[in-house]
Structure 1
Amino acid sequence: MDNFKGQVAMITGAASGLGLSIARKLLNEGAQLALLDLNENALLSSFDEFSDQVMCVGIDITSQQLVEETVSKILARFGKIDILVNCAGITGQTNLKSHEVSTENLHKVFELNFMSSFYTSKAVIPNMLANNYGRILHIASIAGKEGNAGMLAYSASKAAVIGMAKVQGKEYAENGITVNALAPAVIQTPLVDVMPEAQVKYMTDKIPMKRCGTLEEAANLAAYIVSPLNSFTTGFTFDLSGGRATY
């Protein structure tokens, strides 16, 4: 399929999990990719054979300066950025009540989950405005809607991501740019694999389908959201929760 032929997509957190799945999906459908992750070796091992089509960048995206420099390099190579997908994220410390949360860890989670998404979108939007076209997808979480007990940092940072998508969606609605969020429940990813079993059970028990979502399901929905087909939905948070979401 060539649904994304001629388009350039920038994806953060692309070395594993949802970011990797979305990258493979868009690559298979004809996109050129700029993939960002702290683990550059993992990026290269997954995409080395596609070097003509894929640009791999090892980067700490919590540095605004590095993000801006990287976006400049992407534009120098590909000439434009049509799509931005912000997948990079961490849960931080979990199974803690709010009074037990480390302030340092809270800041760390917000820097990666929220601030980096602000940095990347701030850096790519001027190019999208110049081209009167863009698709931005911020990966949020059902935790950002409902708040998961024991996950203050993660839940609050994802709520902030949802808020940003709503604001940006309104701000650029007349410029051919859509900005949306995706709120998964538990998706079977490496991030989930390292979480305490009790925390995962707490989350899956709330899902009417009684299972985790798959990476393929998430990538399929993400691909639609950032496609030209999604032209009249912006500032919206898409559900991927197996029936858990109520709003």
Structure 2
Amino acid sequence: MDLNLAGRVAFITGPAKGMGAAITRSFADEGCRLVLVGRDVAAIEPIAEEVQASGREAIVVRCDLIDAPQCDEAAKAAVARFGRIDILVNVAGGSGPVGKSGVETTPEEFEEIVRLNVNGCFHTMRAVLPAMIKQRYGKIVNVGGTFGMRGRAGRVSYSASKWGLRGVTKSFALEVGQHNINVNYVAPGMVDGPRFRDKVCADMARRLNITPEEAAERHAQDYALRRITVDQDIANACLFMASDVSRQITGADLPVDGGWAML
């Protein structure tokens, strides 16, 4: 199926590694022109160079997402270069404390992750929407998490941030639908990679006195499909939500988790 994304301008936060890099490559493969946004420009440059070497256009814009004026400037830079912004994919975010109860979580830890995962996405949405409203077209995809759909013991701050992002997503969807703009929420489950292996599996392994590999398998057994999500699964969901194939879907939650959130 042709997703008809060629030539679209995609503004992607957190594009440097993991699912962010997979999403960046996938949008480049579909022919999008990319605006790669984040605080650590040095980390983003290699993926930008990879995209450019493949014959696609990509620019890197330094931006601290928790600083609203910087997000405004990043959106202006995108419009100045490409004339429009068609797609926003909010990937950037943090995981917060792992294995800490709510009582053990400090106010500073809680506020830090909520500020990044909710405020950061709010700032970028608010920054790009004027361009989308003007052109009467836009697709916003917020990458959240299934802990924002079911909750999770030991992940209070992260769960709170992702529940909050769902609310922001749905409210914006109601507000901007009249302008032909879709706003949706893609919710990864546990995604295989360093964060999953080194933090989540390591925490379970310590608590249960098992190996990290055994911990990963225990997680897989929690899911209907008995397998862990990988980065490309999330990239594929974002492509779907950013395309006109999903033109009649907005304000929706799409869990990509092998069947955990629905159990």
Residue 60 of structure 1 and its aligned partner are, at CA, apart by: 1.7
Partner of 1:40: 41
1:227 and 2:243 matched: yes
Contact 2:5–2:243 (CA under 8 A) maintained in structure 1: yes
The TM-score, its normalising length taken from structure 2, stands at 0.88
Partner of 1:178: 182
Partner of 1:7: 8
5+ residue gaps, structure 2: 205-214
Contact 2:144–2:188 (CA under 8 A) maintained in structure 1: yes
Written as runs of structure 1 = structure 2, the 5 A alignment for 1:72-151 is 72-151=76-155
Partner of 1:63: 67
- The structure-2 alpha-carbon separation of the partners of 1:149 and 1:204, relative to structure 1 and needing over 3 Å to count, comes to farther
Alpha-carbon distance in structure 2 between the residues aligned to 1:190 and 1:64: 30
5+ residue gaps, structure 1: none
The TM-score, its normalising length taken from structure 1, stands at 0.94
Task: Give per-residue Cα distances to partners, 1:80-104, cap 9 Å, x unaligned.
Answer: 1000000001111111111111111
Q: Which piece of structure 1 moves more, 210-219 or 230-239? A: 210-219
Larger radius of gyration: 2
How many residue pairs get aligned? The number is 247
- The structure-2 alpha-carbon separation of the partners of 1:47 and 1:243, relative to structure 1 and needing over 3 Å to count, comes to same
RMSD: 1.8
Alpha-carbon distance in structure 2 between the residues aligned to 1:153 and 1:213: 22
Alpha-carbon distance in structure 2 between the residues aligned to 1:193 and 1:14: 20
Residue 234 of structure 1 and its aligned partner are, at CA, apart by: 0.2
SS at match of 1:172: helix
Aligned sequence identity (%): 30
Alpha-carbon distance in structure 1 between the residues aligned to 2:194 and 2:119: 22
Alpha-carbon distance in structure 1 between the residues aligned to 2:133 and 2:5: 19
